[in-house]
Structure 1
Amino acid sequence: MSKGSPVLWAFVITSTAGFMAALDNLVVTTALTSIREHLGGGISDLEWTVNAYTLSFAVLLLLGAALGDRFGRRRIFGLGLGLFTLSSLAAALAPNIDALVAARAAQGVGAALLTPVSLTILTGAVPAARRAVVFGVWGAVNGMAVALGPVIGGTIVEHLSWQWIFAINVPIGVALLPLARLRLRQSHGPNDRLDVVGTALASTGLFGIVYALIRGNGDGWTSAPVLAGLVAGSALLVAFVLWELRTDAPALPMRLFRNRAFAAINTSSLLMSLGMFGSIFLLSQFLQAGQGYSPMQAGVRMLPWTAMPMLASPLGGLLASRIGGRVVIAAGLLLQAAGLAWFAVLATGASEITYAAQVPALVISGLGMGFFFAPVSTVLMGSVPDADQGVASGTNGSLREVGGALGVAVLTAVFTAHGDYASFARFTHGLTPALWVGSGTLLAAMVAALVIPSARRSRGAGVALETPTTETVPAVG
């Protein structure tokens, strides 16, 4: 990529914006203790500071992709980036926990607009022969943002204040806005109709389920609000699928899931986020509330986990080019499951856990995260034709964010059913079963990844590619 080339500009602008959006998934985790001390609130309020972002991000990603196709991807990218920047400022200035949750929800909306069109913009700027390498680096940057969230958040909170984890987005966003306008190419998708009904059904259904999971332990799993959220949310999601099968302009074309590679990589992505995001949410608090580390100390002690993807992602990309993405993704998920299982064993019945004992689990988890993120974008975008790449990006991002929101809700529900913050023993008593659930979910994600069609060698190039997108599974009925 030569200096000043459209490919370089597209990569720098979209990856920087994507890094900010991905970072804000978990940058808040090591600041939760400081936020609780400053603004008050219980664990359910802290859950919403994470889930308000991930949930609005998740349920509107498909809408973001559709708006980009209809009104222009560069235009929607700029709109999302502007909203993300303004809401980051609002989060930094939040006077109470409710205002912070509202600002986080607005951040999620902005991220949902810019994220799906980012990968589509990059796809249009990069020649087909170079996409595998560029997508691998792009995926590694986004994976690194997720992994570095706790350490960046902890360092900022320790040396500045928790408000700065949001305020730091403002100058970056302001700098990117004119660059996006001047350097990104405008493009549109083939579908100019918006699926308002489908988006509304999916959004309200997911909200109902996540709300019920968060309130389950506090209100009781048989209480009217919780049962209503679970039943109504599930019914709305069923209605969403039925609507998508019937409408002429679906937000999520169900035909894509007949493609084995597309269905498998999206299932794997959802389960990975569920297991890993929920576990990180609890482990970052364990280092502070359970072991008494400051936010920065907790972030630094997570470096064997957070730094490992920087080393593992290039290796994962190289391996994927030789043996195919399926094996590398499955290996990464197995390593992540093993890392969480190691933590669970350490926490079982322990009166204390030395940091030295935690390091191997951190390294294994980080290695697995790097192996997972490096080939995901290549496998995903290679599983669909060019006309569907916008919706494919939005679908995968949406399912990953849904998985993250569900992961925080589900694993916290397991934690609060067995433990609390009263003591180290009580914390680990809740942490242990939650980590086993997270590890089991990652193993399920590995099984899903193994369903991805095996790699083959392209003739003449010697590069392992995923099986062509014509391979499908039979349609039901």
Structure 2
Amino acid sequence: MASFSGVQRLVISIAVLASFVTFLDGTVVNVALPAISRELGGGITTQQWVVDAYLITLSALILLAGSVSDAYGRVLVMRVGLIAFGIASIAVAAAPDPLVLIIARAAQGAAGALLVPSSLALITATMRSDVQARAIGVWTAFTTAAQLVGPLMGGLFVDYLSWRFVFLINVLPIALNLILLSRLKLAEKPSGRRVDWVSGALCAIGLGAVVFALIEQPNYGWGSPAIWMPGIAGAALFAWFLLRQRGSASPLMPPWLFRVRDFGWGNLATFFVYAALSLNGFVVGVYLQQGAGLSATAAGLASLPMTILMILVSSRAGAWAGRFGPRIFMTVGPAIMAVGALMLLLVAEDFDYWWQVLPAMIVTGLGLALTVAPLTAAILGAIDQEHSGIASAVNNAVSRVAGLLVVAMLSTIVGGMLDLDGFHSAAWVTAALLVLGAIVSWIGIRRNPAEVEDAVTPTSAPSPAAPAA
């Protein structure tokens, strides 16, 4: 980060560490699930809710958290989120039974919702143009690396220590970030705008109920009142939330945001790309253990090439996007990832990681490194500083919901069983989603952040009454 000023390096470090803990926790848990169920009991139901309790609260509350971040200040919200996340992590590690564990995981997700939008909003609020794009590239490299290296770290802890240590990984970076925050002298001016808590409740309960129905329907069936009742009620509440945004004085998801071309089309691309990433990560991680017979640590090591490529290329891709515009990278990147997904069709009963999986990991990692930073820069670079928290929250919510939905539909995608045929079916669906992401990006993305600095300043930003085209 030699090209950044001292304050900018501090802001980037804080943003990276704050996001790192939430991204890491979302992935590191997967390899710990068998050990958790062996010790605490509950079988597959416990395993599902250990993951889902975190994702549901994180996804459902992230919009509310973005609005709170803009209203009360990013630094304050981040500090509260870090402390709450640390306490919840300790509670998870000390959980004596599945119920306490699941409640603590839900608390982790709620705290994580405070961290992600406020951390990225710190970058978008303090840097603009090509500097912002390069900073987002650095942020993307390290936070995405957290998602990719998580299974490896989790496998090592599970194999050589205990699953409980998996959830204590975050304590050290949280403590370090609280120290860094105390050194950040940022002249923030919280907007003081009213937070629409009713909309926050509608979004959280509505989305949570819909996700519950999608996840649990394979266990109960669509005909069960335990499924269709919360599904219908959740959809109605979420529809009410969307309608309320049109007339709210302080909307959590301002409708005019989606009429800003790069933001609207960029979030559609986000939906397809992150749905594909979530499906690919889940299926590869599980199949390598259950189908190919690898250990938890070996399965985590399988994604290491993607991690290395993200660290090496992502910050450069962010700088290139600031210079040449994000459109070409958001088109080529997902297309390359689609090729990588199709290369997983080489996986056979006679398993060989080096020839059947490694080439796909390398190709997918290269496409991912070219995609993520330009995608983030295009979306957030199109929105003014005052609304950066909401914009970041909306984009994060879209990516999380995409992952929730595609994993909830996993049984349908793989044909009921994650055997070799199911693995190949998931590879086809992953590739199709990535191709859709590439097409959407080519059609919709237009702006070069370096050329439209005036268009995204607070004085010329679009408002709900005068949205940009």
Partner of 1:201: 202
Confirm whether residue 238 of structure 1 aligns to residue 239 of structure 2: yes
Confirm whether residue 388 of structure 1 aligns to residue 380 of structure 2: no
Could you tell me which amino acid in structure 2 is paired with residue 393 of structure 1? S
| Cα gap change, 1:312 to 1:4, in 2 (>3 Å) | closer
Partner of 2:422: 430
Partner of 2:407: 408
Q: What's the offset of the Cα at 1:438?
A: 2.8
Partner of 1:216: 217
- Give yes or no for contact 1:278–1:412 (8 Å, CA) kept in 2: no
| Structure 2 counterparts to residues 6-405 of structure 1, below 5 A | 6-126=7-127, 130-185=131-186, 187-190=188-191, 192-343=193-344, 345-347=345-347, 350-355=348-353, 356-405=355-404
Unaligned 5+ segments in structure 2 are none
Q: What's the offset of the Cα at 1:146?
A: 1.8
Could you tell me which amino acid in structure 2 is paired with residue 377 of structure 1? T
Q: What's the offset of the Cα at 1:311?
A: 2.6
Could you tell me which amino acid in structure 2 is paired with residue 93 of structure 1? A
| C-alpha distance after superposition, 1:181-200 (max 9, x if no partner) | 33252524435201112111
| C-alpha distance after superposition, 1:13-36 (max 9, x if no partner) | 221111111111211122223333
| Cα gap change, 1:220 to 1:277, in 2 (>3 Å) | same
Q: How far apart in 2 are the matches of 1:36 and 1:88?
A: 18
| Cα gap change, 1:261 to 1:29, in 2 (>3 Å) | same
- Give yes or no for contact 1:74–1:181 (8 Å, CA) kept in 2: no
Q: How far apart in 2 are the matches of 1:272 and 1:419?
A: 24
Secondary structure of residue in 2 paired with 1:21: helix
| Cα gap change, 1:287 to 1:133, in 2 (>3 Å) | same
Q: What's the offset of the Cα at 1:383?
A: 0.7
Comparing 55-64 with 328-337, greater Cα deviation is found at 328-337
- Give yes or no for contact 2:317–2:373 (8 Å, CA) kept in 1: yes
Q: How far apart in 2 are the matches of 1:153 and 1:407?
A: 23
Residue of 427, 438, 444 corresponding to 1:452: 444
TM-score relative to the length of structure 2: 0.90
Could you tell me which amino acid in structure 1 is paired with residue 416 of structure 2? H
- Give yes or no for contact 1:260–1:471 (8 Å, CA) kept in 2: no
- Give yes or no for contact 1:73–1:186 (8 Å, CA) kept in 2: no
| C-alpha distance after superposition, 1:389-448 (max 9, x if no partner) | 121011111111222222321224534x5215xxxxxx2233332333333222222222
Q: What's the offset of the Cα at 1:127?
A: 5.8
Q: How far apart in 2 are the matches of 1:306 and 1:182?
A: 30
| C-alpha distance after superposition, 1:317-339 (max 9, x if no partner) | 34424432122122222222222
- Give yes or no for contact 1:454–1:466 (8 Å, CA) kept in 2: no
Q: How far apart in 2 are the matches of 1:315 and 1:91?
A: 37
- Give yes or no for contact 1:340–1:361 (8 Å, CA) kept in 2: yes
Secondary structure of residue in 1 paired with 2:251: coil
Same amino acid, percent of matched pairs: 31
Q: What's the offset of the Cα at 1:212?
A: 1.1
Comparing 399-408 with 17-26, greater Cα deviation is found at 399-408
Q: How far apart in 1 are the matches of 2:357 and 2:294?
A: 14
- Give yes or no for contact 1:84–1:111 (8 Å, CA) kept in 2: yes
Q: What's the offset of the Cα at 1:72?
A: 2.5
Secondary structure of residue in 2 paired with 1:48: helix
Could you tell me which amino acid in structure 2 is paired with residue 383 of structure 1? A
- Give yes or no for contact 1:323–1:455 (8 Å, CA) kept in 2: no
Q: How far apart in 2 are the matches of 1:292 and 1:303?
A: 18
| C-alpha distance after superposition, 1:363-401 (max 9, x if no partner) | 122112211212223212211122221210111111112
| Cα gap change, 1:99 to 1:143, in 2 (>3 Å) | same
* TM-align CA RMSD: 2.6
| Cα gap change, 1:228 to 1:275, in 2 (>3 Å) | farther
| C-alpha distance after superposition, 1:275-321 (max 9, x if no partner) | 21132122111111212211111111222233222233134234424
- Give yes or no for contact 2:209–2:234 (8 Å, CA) kept in 1: yes
| Cα gap change, 1:227 to 1:443, in 2 (>3 Å) | farther
| C-alpha distance after superposition, 1:114-134 (max 9, x if no partner) | 221112223333365622211
| Cα gap change, 1:412 to 1:331, in 2 (>3 Å) | farther
TM-score relative to the length of structure 1: 0.88
| Cα gap change, 1:291 to 1:38, in 2 (>3 Å) | farther
Unaligned 5+ segments in structure 1 are 421-426
Could you tell me which amino acid in structure 1 is paired with residue 144 of structure 2? G
Q: How far apart in 2 are the matches of 1:44 and 1:260?
A: 42
Q: How far apart in 2 are the matches of 1:377 and 1:132?
A: 9
- Give yes or no for contact 2:72–2:191 (8 Å, CA) kept in 1: no
